[in-house]
């Protein structure tokens, strides 16, 4: 405190809430206040009174908010994306657990490590033939792979989906691995087309992250194995796998896995058929309803066992609401209710192209057989969103937060990379977007990149989802505990309103956060 008077200053009194706590008669006039002796999170009135030598006085008064924080040694990394403010997966200042004062309007996000849900396999997208061709031919190839797959300098994508042969996203002509008609011994089986771009890109990815999981999904068997005789499904809704080809097609899966293993690439899981209830008119497809998938599994499962293949078998791989009049629940029940068929599978997979059905359907299937896993294997963003922030919050909530809170072990988006014209494609979607956009020397990270990154960069394979509460319409949350004990909390503000919240764990919590509209934030502590 500074004070002066023409007759001289005799003393300075320091008063807290009408209690005299100190008197100082010499310069500098000061009092060291130990706030630990006072109640926390309270407002106190500090009064300072100066007296001159004639005992005339003058006072000043302050209101002081006491916040005694008992901070722990546990620091929390904070990563933030706010497209409106042009923040994209940026690291903010670290936070610390403690006992700070909580604003009365703050939302309390509670984290319970004792309440454990599904194990996590990873996050990523599909390395389609188109994606691999674009990346492999880019002048920025190394940078792209690093940014996508490095856990340190990139977002650490941990799961990839592969089309077994051609999908609608292929550069050039459609192809299978067995083009020779009636080659039932599969003597001409070849993954040579994959060796052009897919396998070299995959090998470089594995050099960065050798633990990445890979899922294979066929769009169609070779045409000669089907009742229609056509690789492209066309208008043939009766384009089914011939009953006499069950064993041959099972060998096709075995050879795919074995040939990739020779290249140093392990296939973690396969789905029986991509979108088995839809027969596309302009790209490869197969109509394979639940009863046929059930019977095929009874052939494929023993083949895997006979050949010592431990690749997981996953069924369905289609929308929550199935296709048309064919229901997803009936399809999956048909397989789950067969004791032999269900013994060979690890679970069921879903896509997010639905009208009305939501990720809560995954919980219905989980409850049907809790021992079987749930996977989310495909959803794309589309060109034409007028508002990036709106697209960002919708996509994050619907296909990450909701999907994960309904038992999914993973989240896989569609194309890892597409060009500026949403291609190359041969049939199918003319306005899909990739996680990144790549064309020659052009490389741009789309909103999907940053959403994936908030999960893949911090949530380790083998992590478990743990309890965190959500405030509908105000704040979405999802939390994980990694195998090394570290905790990850991802929060989403889906609205245009400012949100204030605390994150509470183990009888401690962060100081409150203020985050404005349409933001996603990752909180990580080890």
pLDDT tens-digit map of 360-384: 999 999 999 999 999 999 999 998 7
Measured from the Cβ of residue 496, the count of other Cβ atoms closer than 10 Å reads 12
pLDDT attached to residue 31 = 92
Considering the four listed CATH numbers 2.40.50.140, 1.10.3210.10, 3.30.565.10, 2.60.40.10, the one that applies to the domain covering 9-66 is 2.60.40.10
pLDDT attached to residue 7 = 78
What proportion of the chain, given as a percentage, has pLDDT over 70? 94
pLDDT tens-digit map of 288-303: 999 999 999 999 999 9
Mean pLDDT value of segment 114-138: 98
Which has the closest alpha carbon to 359: 475, 478, 482?
Answer: 478
Query: Residue 387 to residues 306, 373, 393, 444, 483: CA-CA distances in angstroms?
Result: 53, 35, 10, 17, 38
Whether 169 and 415 have beta carbons less than 8 Å apart is answered as yes
Residue with the larger pLDDT of the pair 350 and 68: 350
pLDDT attached to residue 93 = 78
Asked if residue 439 has pLDDT above 70, the reply is: yes
Q: Which CATH architecture has domain 75-117+467-525?
A: Sandwich (2.60)
pLDDT attached to residue 502 = 84
pLDDT attached to residue 100 = 66
Superfamily of domain 121-458: Glycosidases (3.20.20.80)
pLDDT tens-digit map of 75-102: 788 899 887 767 899 988 777 777 666 6
226-230, long-range: CB within 8 Å, 24+ apart, which pairs? Answer: 226/286
Which has the closest alpha carbon to 365: 347, 378, 353?
Answer: 347
pLDDT tens-digit map of 244-276: 999 999 999 999 999 999 999 999 999 999 999
Domain with CATH 2.60.40.10 in the chain: 9-66
**pLDDT band (50, 70, 90) for residue 520:** confident
pLDDT tens-digit map of 2-52: 777 777 889 999 999 999 999 999 888 999 999 888 887 788 999 999 999
Q: Give the integer Cα–Cα distance in Å for 412 and 409.
A: 10
Domain with CATH 3.20.20.80 in the chain: 121-458
Asked if residue 208 has pLDDT above 60, the reply is: yes
pTM over 0.85: yes
Q: Give the integer Cα–Cα distance in Å for 167 and 280.
A: 11
Mean pLDDT value of segment 191-215: 98
Domain with CATH 2.60.40.1180 in the chain: 75-117+467-525
């Amino acid at each position: 405190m500074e004070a002066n008077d023409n007759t001289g200053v005799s003393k300075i009194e320091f008063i807290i809430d009408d209690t005299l706590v100190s008197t100082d008669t010499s310069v500098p006039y000061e009092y060291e206040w130990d706030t630990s002796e006072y109640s926390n999170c309270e407002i106190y009135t500090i009064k300072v009174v100066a007296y001159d030598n004639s005992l005339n006085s003058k006072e000043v008064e302050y209101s002081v908010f006491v916040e005694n924080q008992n901070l722990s040694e546990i620091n929390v990394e904070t990563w933030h994306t706010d497209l409106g403010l042009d923040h994209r997966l940026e690291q903010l200042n670290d936070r610390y657990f403690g006992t700070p004062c909580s604003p009365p309007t703050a939302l309390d996000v509670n984290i319970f490590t004792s309440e454990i849900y599904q194990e996590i396999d990873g996050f990523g997208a599909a390395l389609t033939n188109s994606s691999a061709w674009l990346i492999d031919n880019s002048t920025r190839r190394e940078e792209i792979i690093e940014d996508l797959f490095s856990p340190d300098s990139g977002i650490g994508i941990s799961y990839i989906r592969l089309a077994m042969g051609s999908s609608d996203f292929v550069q050039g002509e459609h192809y299978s691995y067995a083009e020779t008609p009636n080659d039932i011994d599969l003597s001409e089986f070849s993954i040579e087309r994959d060796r052009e771009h897919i396998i070299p890109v995959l090998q470089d990815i594995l050099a960065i992250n050798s633990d990445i999981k890979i899922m294979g999904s066929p769009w169609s068997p070779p045409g000669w194995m089907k009742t229609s005789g056509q690789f492209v499904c066309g208008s043939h809704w009766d384009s089914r796998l011939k009953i006499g080809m069950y064993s041959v097609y099972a060998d096709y899966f075995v050879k795919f896995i074995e040939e990739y293993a020779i290249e140093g690439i392990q296939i973690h899981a396969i789905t029986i058929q991509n979108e088995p209830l839809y027969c596309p008119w302009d790209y490869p497809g197969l109509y394979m309803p639940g009863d046929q998938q059930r019977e095929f599994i009874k052939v494929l499962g023993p083949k895997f066992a006979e050949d010592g293949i431990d690749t997981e078998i996953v069924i369905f791989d289609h929308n929550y609401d199935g296709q048309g009049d064919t229901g997803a629940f009936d399809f999956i029940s048909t397989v789950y209710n067969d004791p032999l068929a269900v013994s060979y599978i690890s679970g069921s997979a879903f896509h997010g192209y639905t009208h009305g059905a939501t990720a809560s359907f995954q919980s219905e299937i989980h409850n049907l057989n809790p021992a079987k896993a749930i996977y989310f294997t495909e959803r794309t963003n589309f060109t034409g969103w007028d508002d990036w922030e709106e697209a960002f919050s919708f996509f994050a909530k619907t296909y990450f937060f909701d999907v994960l809170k309904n038992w999914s072990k993973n989240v896989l988006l569609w194309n890892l990379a597409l060009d500026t014209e949403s291609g190359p494609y041969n049939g199918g979607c003319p306005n899909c977007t990739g996680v990144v956009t790549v064309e020659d020397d052009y490389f741009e990270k789309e909103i999907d990149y940053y959403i994936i990154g908030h999960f893949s960069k911090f949530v380790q394979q083998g992590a478990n989802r743990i309890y965190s509460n959500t405030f509908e319409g105000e704040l979405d949350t999802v939390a994980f505990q990694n195998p090394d004990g570290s905790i990850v909390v991802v929060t989403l503000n889906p609205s245009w309103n400012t949100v204030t919240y605390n994150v509470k764990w183990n009888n401690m919590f962060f100081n409150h956060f203020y985050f404005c509209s349409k933001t996603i934030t990752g909180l990580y502590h080890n």
